[in-house]
Amino acid sequence: MAQIFKKPLSWLLQESGQEGAHTLKRTLSAFQLVTLGIGGIIGAGLFSLSGLAAANNAGPAVTLSFIVAAIGCAFSGLCYAEFSSMIPVAGSAYPYAYATMGEMIAWIIGWDLGLEFSVGAATVAISWSNYLVKFLSSYNIYLPPQLVHSPFETAQLADGTVVHGIMNLPAALVILAMSWLLIRGTKGSAIWTTLVVILKVGVVILFIALGWRYIQPANYTPYIPANTGTFGEYGWSGILRGAGVVFFVYLGFDIISAAAQETRNPKRNMPIGILGSLVVCTILFILFAHVMTGLAPYTAFKGNAAPVAVAIERTPYTWLSQLIILAILIGYTSVILVDLLGQTRVFYAMAKDGLLPKVFSDIHPRFQTPWRSNILFCIFVGLFAAFVPIRVVGEMTSIGTLLAFVIVCAGVWIMRYSMPDAPRAFKTPLVPFVPIMGIITCVGIMLFLPWDTWLRLIVWMAIGMVIYFRYGKKHSKVRRAVGR
């Protein structure tokens, strides 16, 4: 029964070759894919979670945490590269699951990715708003606190008065701006992303270069602090827990696969984009963490979500802190943009298969983008960013992506045996070792996430299954094709 409802590979290959006014426009090059991936990866995680992982879990050995997380991403990235070269269609891991494990698993991963991208965009938008307030305050510009906090949050004024928030207006506005950019077309958004990536990478390199000469070797002793007796607090268990924390930093390279149907020569360019962005970011992250923990003792980052500012204070370049905040503000926009891009492309693919209403796959006749879907998610994510506090979103983005990674790794393994002769422009090496290690690594990291994150995932999935059985299953084009 499961075999019947797999989407034939021939269908996917036919979709990947379609051109015209009602399909996505192919404009992205390999370089633009690399910058798109870097734009999605370098963001909130690096500039906030790296210090917290060092302070609470790994100490100076947070560099090892980055390496462990990178290894997990590398296994998954190799599998993504094979699938994206075989099946260059929109939808990220969704079409891969449809072709290998059937409609039910495809729906689960598509619905899961929808949550991941939406929550990710809203989270970064709220953080963007917080940094904007901090940046403007240094110039004595103060936004009304009621308009930068959700209704569930309070703010204390200078005179001690406590006021309740009304809405986080800047967070909603940045979602609106990025959605408008996406509606105009991926080429324009890719150009913006490229410029932003140059700025973000430049700031990271500047931090590494300026900070390197002020490293204090004493801050690396002990390199792996002794475990406190609590699992995950220093020692090797702390390094592994730190890997789970900083894994969020790497989220973004998988979004490249969501843009496969808008890529020129995807069989060549998709693997370059996925693996290229992962390699570049891993090198930068390791050097960044090494300099950060060398400039200040790891204990100095405890309870501080701005580790770069803490580290820079140990150098003569304190002026760099404001530049870092500005770079974060600009850089966050590219993260929001690629999250919204991934979200709409996954639902575009699901709607094309009949599992979601046609509104999610309607293409603008001029811009050739899923503009109605962009508008709907602009409203949904914008409302979420405006009225929900950042603490609610938790680690939902991480667990959603990890689940996608597991399914992609399993899919490559399955397809190697079920379709050994299918053309592959890029082949994942050492199958089944690489897929198995990818599954083990990602599941292991998932187990380190809090229980309430699992609970929210289960609730979201339950809602998705109701929609699938009430709508998707009845309108599935694959089921109709086989007369069921």
- Residue 457, pLDDT score: 82
Burial (CB count within 10 angstroms: exposed 0-12, middle 13-18, buried 19+), residue 70: buried
Q: What is the pLDDT of residue 435?
A: 93
Full-model pTM: 0.75
Residue 22 pLDDT: 44
Q: Are 357 and 472 contacting, i.e. CB atoms less than 8 angstroms apart?
A: no
pLDDT along the chain (484 residues), means of 10: 62 60 58 74 72 87 89 84 71 75 86 82 83 83 86 76 86 92 68 74 87 92 89 87 78 65 70 82 90 92 74 82 79 80 83 88 79 88 84 64 84 85 79 92 80 82 92 87 63
Give the whole-angstrom CA distance, residue 387 versus residue 132: 17
Residue 20, pLDDT score: 46
Calculate the dihedral angle through the C-alpha atoms of 26, 29, 35, 41, rounding to the nearest 10 degrees.
60
- pLDDT of 254: 66
**What pLDDT is recorded for position 220?**
93
Provide the pLDDT for residue 21: 43
The whole-number pLDDT of residue 218 equals 93
Q: What share of the chain is helix, strand, coil (3-state, %, to 5)?
A: 70, 0, 25
**pLDDT (0 to 100) of residue 349:** 83
> Which pLDDT does position 13 carry in this prediction?
66
Displacement of CA 195 from its chain's centroid (Å)? 19
